[in-house]
Structure 1
Amino acid sequence: MLNNIRIVLVNPSHPGNIGAVARAMKTMGLEHLYLVNPKSFPHVNATALAAGADDILERATIITSLKDALVGSEIVFGTSARLRALQLPTLDPKAAAKFIINEAKVNKISIVFGRENNGLSNEELELCNHQLYIPTNPNFSSLNIAAAVQLIAYEIKMADQIETTITTPTIDLASTEAIQSFYQHLQQTLITTKFLNLKNQNGLMAKLKRLFNRAQLEKTEINILRGILTSINTKNEND
């Protein structure tokens, strides 16, 4: 199950933090690290702070966009130290860990951590279908990224040691790339039918994405929805 979990860091600016994250991951049995546009990596400071987790750094996948980093994932958690008004299912680390371990039996899961200075943007969180909220001191909510990874990785490790099934894991969830392709199809269709226009398309599409993200669409459901869109487009072309 742990092998189905990847840790994704978006634009990490301090190589030492990358090393500390690798160490945090290895101590809890997590192996898959993805780095989206790291400012400086590989770096001697990353190796130094990995403190023996060099293998995690050596296998790390460096990639240019968060969208590409999520390819192959069925479930994506975006982490935040503050609650966002994004209407995503929101779990604290302990509840999220139980959910993740259960779903990781059959699904690939990505846990996304934002920049050290300002976290994830709302646009990046729109690529997620869950929000992982870390409760902190409201007067000082800044949490070091390695500490955040360590906290969540610990809860995942603890959940993995409890052999109780919460619910049956969801089988055949649509992949992130299939969902993003559906969103493009949906947007183009809604523009063609004039439901969307330049003034409202960004806001409405954001709300529609949140709606479908909450639904955790399965592969067959994506196929049905895309079939409906294709039918609409064909009808418009024939009129």
Structure 2
Amino acid sequence: MTAQGPRHRTAWVFGREDNCLTSDEVALCSHFCAIPTSTVMPTLNLSHAVAVVLSRLYCDGVSETSGADDSVETKINKTPLTLGEFEALMKHWEEVAVALDLTRGGDPEKMMIRLRRLLQRARPNVQEAANLRRFLSKVQLKTKKGDDR
């Protein structure tokens, strides 16, 4: 998450100690993490969870700033998507999935949740997202040409 940089606002949402976050709450997040626990102590209180996350962020930030490659290409390749750009990519995927009848009964919700999680883990940058959107646009164009015949 430190790759987001100081210009990008980030909000951290921590789940309840007894049952974490609901699926609906997780779906509203662009990224998520889970802190491993043991069977002896299966939960962390909020202050401990915050300390673990902040410690990890601090360590990641220190390692990124020591010996970072500041070339223009590296900066472009690390430019993260905004939430709006990510949502536009997801909408584009959904349009193509529905047009190709890839969803069960025309309801893309389950497939889109899985795709969202995959893309969130991959954390595509601006250039990668542009490549994916270009691919999706070509698929749409080819399927429209096929419909015209």
Matched, 1:216 2:117: no
Q: Which runs of 5+ in 1 are unaligned?
A: 1-74, 76-99
Deviates more, 1:150-159 or 1:110-119: 150-159
- Aligned ranges for residues 105-144 of structure 1 at < 5 Å? 105=5, 108=8, 109-125=10-26, 127-129=29-31, 131=33, 133-144=34-45
TM-score (structure 1 length as normaliser)? 0.45
Cα distance change of structure 1 residues 107 and 214 upon mapping to structure 2, 3 Å threshold: farther
Structure 2 counterpart SS, 1:185:
helix
Cα distance change of structure 1 residues 135 and 225 upon mapping to structure 2, 3 Å threshold: closer
From 90, 93, 101, the equivalent of 1:183 is 90
- 1:207 maps to 114
- Provide, for residues 188-225 of structure 1, a one-character-per-residue CA deviation record: whole Å limited to 9, x for no partner: 21111112233773333233223322322111222222
TM-score (structure 2 length as normaliser)? 0.66
Cα distance change of structure 1 residues 225 and 196 upon mapping to structure 2, 3 Å threshold: same
Cα distance change of structure 1 residues 146 and 211 upon mapping to structure 2, 3 Å threshold: same
- 1:236 maps to 143
- Aligned ranges for residues 1-239 of structure 1 at < 5 Å? 75=1, 100=2, 103-105=3-5, 108=8, 109-125=10-26, 127-129=29-31, 131=33, 133-157=34-58, 165=66, 168=69, 171-198=78-105, 201-238=108-145, 239=148
Report how many aligned residue pairs link the two structures.
138
Q: Indicate the structure whose relative CO is greater, using CA pairs within 8 Å and at least 6 residues apart.
A: 2
Q: Which runs of 5+ in 2 are unaligned?
A: none
RMSD over aligned CA atoms reads 3.4
Cα distance change of structure 1 residues 177 and 166 upon mapping to structure 2, 3 Å threshold: farther
By percentage of residues, which structure has more helix? Answer: 2
- Provide, for residues 120-146 of structure 1, a one-character-per-residue CA deviation record: whole Å limited to 9, x for no partner: 234544544452x32333133232223
Distance in 2 of aligned mates of 1:162 and 1:227: 34
Structure 2 counterpart SS, 1:113:
coil
- 1:87 maps to none
